[in-house]
Amino acid sequence: MSGSLAVALVAALTTSAAANDDDDDKLHFEHRFEHALRDHGECQPRVFFKHHRLSPRNFFVPRTRFIDGPGGSMTVSVTREHEVLAFLETENEKTKSVSEPHPFTTGEIVRELRRLGIPHLEERHMVFTGHEYTQEISKGMYGNMWYRVLGYRIGWSAWRVLNNCRHVAIGRGIANVPARVEGWRYWETKHPTFKGRVISKK
């Protein structure tokens, strides 16, 4: 270890020892430690994550799709429990790697995305019975209801910092993650339809 690097590291250690032992001080020390290494062409190996495009998505609950009308009103409720699980998609067939595969579990990805500023994500969300809802239907129209858990479709990537400070992608994909919000979606159509197709003229 060179003399100037030793001085920088000792200074960082001295500062850390004099500070309170909490998360902020630990993070401050780690940043100073890493900057000291980087100034001398070295970095502390680690893995970090990024999130990219983010779009809303619905996790529709099976057997909660109802159609009523024309006109009148409709009342619906959840009659059975259902668990919604987060799941991962891969953008490419092969995951990029430095020297060995680096698999990430769904739970790891969800935790990292929370740390990146999306705290209301859940690896699993349990829908319980109840949540009754009544809606007036416009005259001559058909009312449609479908219960859903709201969430996101999030692009993510994982990166490894090497000793020489290079950043190398070691994994990427798309996470479909429920949030802590659920409720009924209501819309109206001129005819009873399912998946965009008319299923009855009356």
Asked if 115 contacts 201 with a C-beta cutoff of 8 angstroms, the reply is no
The whole-number pLDDT of residue 103 equals 75
Higher pLDDT, 16 or 41: 41
Stretch 61-76: mean pLDDT: 94
| DSSP H or E stretch at residue 190 | none
Higher pLDDT, 171 or 124: 124
Name residue 178's amino acid.
P
CA 45-46-52 angle, 5° bins: 135
The whole-number pLDDT of residue 45 equals 82
Q: What count of other Cβ atoms lies within 10 Å of the Cβ of residue 143?
A: 22
Q: What count of other Cβ atoms lies within 10 Å of the Cβ of residue 72?
A: 12
Distances (CA, A) of 190 to 21, 38, 39, 74, 153: 65, 65, 67, 16, 31
Which residues are paired to 98 by β-bridges? Answer: none
The whole-number pLDDT of residue 61 equals 94
The whole-number pLDDT of residue 91 equals 56
Stretch 122-143: mean pLDDT: 94
Q: What count of other Cβ atoms lies within 10 Å of the Cβ of residue 65?
A: 14
Asked if 102 contacts 173 with a C-beta cutoff of 8 angstroms, the reply is no
Query: Looking up tokens 């239907």, which residue turns up?
Result: 137
User: Mean pLDDT across the chain, nearest whole number?
Assistant: 77
Tokens (6 digits) for 190: 């001129």
| DSSP H or E stretch at residue 25 | helix 23-39
Stretch 88-110: mean pLDDT: 62
